[in-house]
Amino acid sequence: MNKTQTEQDPRWQSVLDRDAGADGSFVFAVKTTGIYCRPSCPSRRAKPANVAFYDAPKDAEAAGFRPCMRCNPKGQSAAQANTEIIAEACRIIEASDEMPKLDDLAAKVGFSSHYFHRQFKAITGLTPREWGAAHRAQKVRAELQDKENTVTEAIYDAGFNANSRFYETSNKVLGMTPTAFRQGGKDTDIRFALGESALGAILVAESDKGICAIAMGDDPEVLVNELQDCFPKANLIGGDAAFEARVAQVVGFVEAPQIGLDLPLDIRGTAFQQRVWQALRDIPMGETVSYADIARQIGAPKSVRAVAGACAANKLAVAIPCHRVVRNDGDLSGYRWGIERKRALLEKESAA
């Protein structure tokens, strides 16, 4: 294979990018050294004229090449090993009563503090402290649902060593006070209204902080029941004429996305989810990006699955445009409100 052929081969770009995602799909060999490597190998790149590609290590070895000692193409890559180590660190955090100190946590998994912190954020999309906070927030939800505990006991059992620390972030995590959350949204006013669009029924709900839900479906009654399930004891108030104008805004945006949508939003989620959702809001209308693109944008290139999970957790259809995220191959993949609605939204935006 001459230089021109090598550079035209799409695998060469993976080698230049040291793309860990391509590991396992092929190996490349260097004729001048007699060594073959995985695409992500950090070693100095060879000249294209000296490179040959093989589908598997056995093929490279059959051609007379030996495995690289640095990237270990026949075994576990450094990225895979680091992922397992960070997963163990996550388990340590989740099993600890209090958030471990960074130095202690890094020492337990055999990393320096700086390298551990960098790898943890690259793989999970969060810092160790943010991961701990997200886990405690999830745990406190479960503890609050245990009626045997007081609210204070639930907060401490979830790993918060002071009430004040949790209350500082409770509205972002729960959307209300812990007491109101435990009581199914009791004494919380949530206004809502229904509308119709070309994509079916639309429900818009608003708390005192802003729009907290935008849902689409075939059956309006199902949408209302889902809202009631989220807040069984909240005061669900049918929208008045002023609020129904909110629904009209959403319907108008669905029908003609070029008009834009400017609404106050009550966005509830973990630190990681909120970073993903902000990145989604930055996608220009009419464009699509991949889950991997979003992961890179938020500084967590290895967190593609977590990004997909955050998209699935989005409760604000169109306002947080998760419909603009597709797979690397362009496939629409999943959508909370149905693939056909996702396709229709993208077609409307593209036409606009």
CATH superfamily of 5-67: DNA Methylphosphotriester Repair Domain (3.40.10.10)
CATH tag, 189-259: 3.30.160.70
**Positions of CATH 3.40.10.10 in the chain:** 5-67
Q: What is the pLDDT of residue 177?
A: 52
Q: What is the pLDDT of residue 136?
A: 72
Q: Which CATH number fits domain 92-183: 3.40.50.620, 1.10.10.60, 3.40.50.300, 3.10.20.340?
A: 1.10.10.60
CATH tag, 271-351: 1.10.10.10
Q: 10-residue block means of pLDDT along the chain (352 residues)?
A: 76 88 89 93 89 94 93 80 86 82 92 91 82 72 52 48 47 51 61 89 87 90 85 76 82 84 80 86 90 86 84 90 87 86 91 78
Q: What is the pTM of this model?
A: 0.56
Q: What is the pLDDT of residue 254?
A: 85
Q: Is 322 a catalytic residue?
A: yes
Q: What is the pLDDT of residue 185?
A: 52
Query: 311: annotated binding-site residue?
Result: no
90, 212, 311, 322: which one is catalytic?
322
Q: What is the pLDDT of residue 155?
A: 47
37, 90, 212, 311: which one is catalytic?
37
Quickly count: other Cβ atoms within 10 Å of residue 295's Cβ: 22
**Positions of CATH 3.30.160.70 in the chain:** 189-259
Query: 212: annotated binding-site residue?
Result: no
- DSSP secondary structure, 183-252, as one string: TTSTT-EEEEEEEEETTEEEEEEEETTEEEEEEEES-HHHHHHHHHHHSTTSEEEE--HHHHHHHHHHHH
Q: What is the pLDDT of residue 154?
A: 46
Q: Where are the alpha helices (DSSP H) in the chain?
A: 3-8, 10-17, 57-62, 78-95, 102-109, 113-124, 128-144, 151-157, 163-174, 178-182, 220-230, 241-255, 271-281, 291-297, 304-313, 339-351
**Positions of CATH 1.10.10.60 in the chain:** 92-183
Quickly count: other Cβ atoms within 10 Å of residue 1's Cβ: 14
**Positions of CATH 1.10.10.10 in the chain:** 271-351
